[in-house]
Amino acid sequence: MSAGPRFQPFEILSLGGWVILTLAVLSSLAIAVWPVKKVEGLELWTFAKNHGQLYQQLSVGYNEEARAEGREPVNVFVIDGAALTRRTLSGFWSGTPLADLIEVERNAMPGYVKGPIDDVGFIDLTDRLHGEEIAPGVSIYEGLNEPSFAPWSSRGRIFGLPHDVHPVMLVYRSDLVEAAGIDVTEIETWDDFVRVMGPLQTDLDGDGSTDRWLLDNWFTNYNNLESLILQAGGGTFDADDNLIVDSDANAMVLARMVSWCRGDTRISVDAPDFSASGNQLKLEGKVIAGIMPDWLAGIWKSDLPQLGGKVKLMPLPAWEPGGRRTSVKGGTMIGIPKATREKGGPERFEAAWEVAKHLYLSRELAREVFGSSCIISPVKAFWSEDFYHQPDPFFSGQQIGTRFLELAPSVPFRSSNTYHVFALGRIGQAMAKLYTEAEARGIDDLTQLEARAAELLAVEAEQVREEMSYNVFMQQDQAEAGQGGRVENGGGDE
Amino acid sequence: MLPAPKVSKRRRGGRYSWWAPYVFIGPFVILFLIFTVYPLLYSVVMAMQYNDGPKSTAFVGLTNFKRVLTDPVFWRAMRNTFVFAAASIFIQLPCSLGLALLLNREDIKARGFWRLIFFSPVLVGLAFVAVMFGLIFEKNTGLLNVLLVDGTQWLHGLLPFIPVWDKEFPWLQEWVLTAIIIASFWMYVGFNMVYFLAALQSVSKELLEAAEVDGANAWHRFLNVTIPAIKPVAMFVVLLSFLGSMQLFELPYLLLGPGGGPQNEGLTVVMYLFEYGFNAGNLGYASAVGWILAVILFAFAMLQKVLAGKDGI
């Protein structure tokens, strides 16, 4: 009797094939049986590492109390900004898992409020903000800096608690400025800034080319662009949601910014924040001044400690005598997705709302946030607290909290229109075109630049209008409401 | 002569029944239908809708196609993508072929090592390449500008008519496409070299020797023996390069951001599609862009088939 057929594994698969098959089976089994740690309690997603560290610190005490009282504890997760936006959109559109509370960055917000107002993924907090009190007789809405709500509102409804105010000042190398005998109190306007600081713009190494420039700013810096056009009274949309891309103020700012970047009128250098190149230029003293919102002051302290004691802050030079001496840059809110209420009922929403108020409206958090990142709280009652008015050794002993707070009421309006980011991008494209044309044709005259900027902006404004005209839901909303969205008292439901 | 024995259907094909092949290809067909055919057909429907995310849709007919074809930003993206594709085909591929010819020579020492060196850039991730070249192309302190400034300063010392390089040369602001082409060249020249190397191995040595005996110089041998022999692989590589170039996304997206830099100089068609589809939530518009891109790619593939003739793929 013959033996049965022998099993010849390498006739079925090669050695490599068996290795791959084994790895595939093992990894599948591992994924299937590996225990996944279940998160107990509420989840909070933030994109900012410093926020995350602070919230984790503050949540320790909060969670102990919460457990003792039978409430949900909170778990904080720091997720990269772009990834957080992707996950949030995915959750809103496709129902993938979402946190119970999500921090939202300024430029991400328009994408969340794009469709019909009832389809916005965050819970409408308008009634809560007007109905609940932060102090006796003072509603949460009244107790916070009102302009801080603007970026988080759409069509009369507010979708989050604002985190900040973000007034903007001018930071400058006080060691270099004072050594040159320059008195910054002589500076009221941007023209004064160029004239007074001019002697500091120089060739440091004698090679015939300028090494030290007056201002960290470039025609490609959209964040600075937004701050400067808002300061000038321009922007993307006004408070009534009218498109103002082609405003005279925008044209003026574009012309000035381009003139600062080229030719005989150049005063700017491209020294971007969060880049090795930009930081090196700052440390080497090759840029005298920059545009600084409160949050950037905190970043400089951690990223550029070598500049401690060498810098000071002053109000932004105005565009004209008597003009606005500040602007705004960036912003964060905390919102509660509708999914929180859908998966856990009204109790889960209430628990999340309590966490949001604890984190954003507490004196303890305001003190910690200012201490770690120099960010001013939007809660007006805290503005007189001592911790905002201490001398800061990094800024040569200046009370930077006091200085930022003095400017807080003058912070300009920020649009919450869903096409804000798109429109800002079009303004940026107009500036890039203006720069290219000025370089190619050697245009130095400001009047000519401004006229050409106005033409380019008119074209971009038409692009924005055309883009908006395709939005059938916006057309329907506007037809029903009679006008575009703006921040209003009342309205909305949860 | 005896009649042939009757063999039952069951026995005729061996142990397996008639339905066995369908069972074996069934899983693939089912997955193919679910994950490829259905989405493809549904995207035709979506291309005629306006969306703000998947939940909010409205039928708009052919408006999306009209909007794409009249959007100057789309045509800027298309131009950028075609320029990149042309650079891939007319600059990168000849260099890959040149490298392959060099490394095919038997008198080159440590050929295996050099092949690995040139191929290895393709092994690192695109994200890493984007971050790395972002630092290389920075103004003032970027490696490329620093090297060019130092090099031209030295040359200027010897030959004063040579100007010194501008340390603020704006690679990622005014020379965006050039920067992307350089980064892509570094990454993919070795990859395409491998295809050409494989093709060169198949060139008949006897033919080359015969041509040499007949008095053909190196250039004539290359033109009349090597090129015809590697033509099928070359046409395949050209097609792959073109298709890959037309779908360029990760490198410029990570290097420049969603807008593709100032004046959308680095914006590609797929970036444009991604921006509208996944950032703006207008999946219908993105579907229309996708279909227009698909038609263009199909037309190119057919054109290449015609031009390649019977020797091409």
B281 at interface of A, judged by CB pairs closer than 8 A: yes
Structure tokens belonging to residue A90: 């995915």
Q: Is the ipTM of this complex over 0.90?
A: no
Rounded CA separation A34/A15 (Å): 28
User: For position A71, what pLDDT does the model report?
Assistant: 84
The answer to whether A402 contacts chain B (CB < 8 Å) is: no
pLDDT recorded at residue B291: 95
A284 touches chain B (CB under 8 A): no
pLDDT tens for each residue of B180-236: 999 999 999 999 999 999 999 888 888 888 998 999 888 998 998 999 999 999 999
Inspect the interface and report whether the beta carbons of A473 and B53 lie closer than 8 Å: no
**Angle, in degrees to the nearest 10, between helices B72-87 and B227-246:** 150
How many contacts does A have with B, using Cβ atoms within 8 A? 80
CB contact under 8 Å between B140 and A94, yes or no, is no
- Residues of chain A contacting residue B261, judged by C-beta atoms under 8 Å apart: 220
- pLDDT confidence of residue A477: 74
In order of A88, A111, B39, the CA distances from B287 in angstroms are 22, 19, 10
Which residues lie below 8 Å from residue A274, measured CB to CB, with a gap of 6+?
Answer: A299, A303
Nearest to B99 by CA among B178, B190, B35: B190
Is the pLDDT assigned to residue A264 strictly greater than 50? yes
Q: What pLDDT does A488 receive?
A: 37
Residue A457 near residue A246 (C-beta atoms within 8 A): yes
d(CA A73, CA A62): 7
For chain A, say whether B141 makes contact (Cβ under 8 Å): yes
Residue type, B232: P
Cβ separation of B53 and A281 shorter than 8 Å? no
Tens-place pLDDT, residues A26-60: 999 999 999 887 788 999 999 998 889 889 888 88
The span from the CA of A195 to the CA of B84, in Å, is 45
**Which distant-in-sequence residues (6+ apart) come within 8 Å of B272 by Cβ?**
B73, B74, B77, B289
Per-residue confidence (pLDDT) for residue B204, from 0 to 100: 86
Average pLDDT over residues A88-117: 91
Quote the CA–CA distance of A484 and A156 in Å, as a whole number: 9
Pick from B56, B137, B271 the residue to mutate for testing the A interface (most A CBs within 10 Å). Answer: B56
pLDDT band at A5 (very low <50, low <70, confident <90, very high): low
**Is A116–B56 a contact, with Cβ atoms under 8 angstroms apart?**
yes
Structural contact between residues B262 and B254, judged by C-beta atoms closer than 8 angstroms: no
Within 10 A of A292 (CB to CB), how many other CB atoms are there? Answer: 28
CA-based nearest distance A260→chain B, Å: 15
Whether the CB-CB separation of A185 and A310 falls below 8 Å is answered with no
Residue A277 sits at the chain B interface (C-beta within 8 Å): yes
Specify the amino acid at residue A382.
F
Model confidence pLDDT, tens digit, residues B4-25: 655 555 545 455 678 888 888 9
Q: Give dist(CA A457, CA A234) in Å, integer.
A: 12
Position A224 pLDDT exceeds 60: yes
Report the residue from A93, A116, A270 with minimal CB separation from B139. A270
The answer to whether A472 contacts B58, with C-beta atoms less than 8 Å apart, is yes
CA-to-CA distance for A405 and A329, rounded, in angstroms?
A: 15
Is residue A274 within 8 angstroms of chain B, CB to CB? no
In this prediction, residue A489 carries a pLDDT of 35
Which pLDDT band holds residue A93 (cuts at 50, 70, 90)? confident
Cα separation of A139 and A128, whole Å? 9
pLDDT greater than 60 at residue A22: yes
Q: Say whether residue B160 is in contact with chain A using an 8 A CB cutoff.
A: no
Q: Which amino acid is at A92?
A: F
**Sequence-ordered list of residues with C-beta below 8 angstroms from that of B309, at least 6 positions apart, any chain:** none
pLDDT for A486: 40
pLDDT of residue B279: 82
Q: Where are the alpha helices (DSSP H) in chain B?
A: 9-12, 20-32, 38-46, 63-69, 72-87, 93-103, 111-119, 126-136, 143-158, 171-174, 176-201, 205-213, 218-221, 227-246, 250-256, 269-274, 283-308
Please give, rounded to a whole number of angstroms, the shortest distance from the CA of B174 to a CA of chain A.
9
Question: How would residue A491 be classed by pLDDT, with cut points 50, 70 and 90?
Answer: very low
Q: Which domains does chain A have, with CATH numbers?
A: 42-165+331-361 (3.40.190.10), 168-291+312-326+419-469 (3.40.190.10)
Summarize pLDDT for A365-409 with one digit per residue, the tens: 899 999 989 999 999 999 999 999 999 999 999 999 999 999 998
Residues of A in contact with B140 (CB under 8 A): 270, 277, 280-281
pTM for the model: 0.86
Mean pLDDT of A358-368: 91
Distance CA A243, CA A417 (A): 10
Question: Do residue B262 and residue A220 have CB atoms under 8 angstroms apart?
Answer: yes
Task: Using a CB–CB cutoff of 8 Å, tell me whether B212 touches chain A.
Answer: no
Q: What is the model's pLDDT at position A216?
A: 96
Q: Residue A261's closest CA among A288, A221, A230?
A: A221
What's the confidence (pLDDT) of residue B129?
Answer: 93
Lowest mean pLDDT among A149-158, A317-326, A468-477, B36-45: A468-477
pLDDT digits (tens, 9 = 90+) for A195-214: 999 999 999 988 888 999 99
CB distance A114–B63 less than 8 Å? no
- Tracing tokens 């099993």 back to the chain, one arrives at A7
SS3 A390: coil
- All domains in chain B, ordered by first residue: 72-311 (1.10.3720.10)
A176 in Cβ contact with A288 (< 8 Å): yes
Which residues are B50's β-sheet partners? Answer: B58
CA B7, B8, B9, B12 torsion-angle sign: negative
Lowest mean pLDDT among A152-161, A435-444, A485-494, B125-134: A485-494
Instruction: Name the pairing type of β-strands A74-78 and A157-158.
Output: unpaired
End-to-end CA distance of chain A: give it in Å, rounded: 82
By Cβ distance, the residue of B54, B60, B168 closest to A472 is B60
Q: Which residue has the tokens 């390449």?
A: B129
Cross-chain Cβ contact A276/B135 below 8 Å: yes
pLDDT at position A189 over 60:
yes
Contacts of B281 in chain A (CB under 8 A): 89, 93, 111, 114-115
List chain B residues with pLDDT less than 50. Answer: 11, 13, 313
Q: Determine the pLDDT at residue A198.
A: 96
Asked whether the predicted pLDDT for residue A410 surpasses 60, the reply is yes
Residues 6+ away with beta carbon under 8 Å from B307: none
Residue B42 to residues A79, B28, B30, B37, B283: CA-CA distances in angstroms?
33, 20, 17, 9, 11
Q: Is the pLDDT of residue A478 over 80?
A: no
Q: Structure tokens of A491?
A: 């309205």
CB contact set of B68 (below 8 Å; sequence gap of 6+): B74, B285, B288, B289, B292
Contacts of A475 (CB under 8 A, 6+ apart): A469
Say if CB A290 and CB A216 are below 8 A apart.
Answer: yes
Please give the pLDDT value at position A280: 92
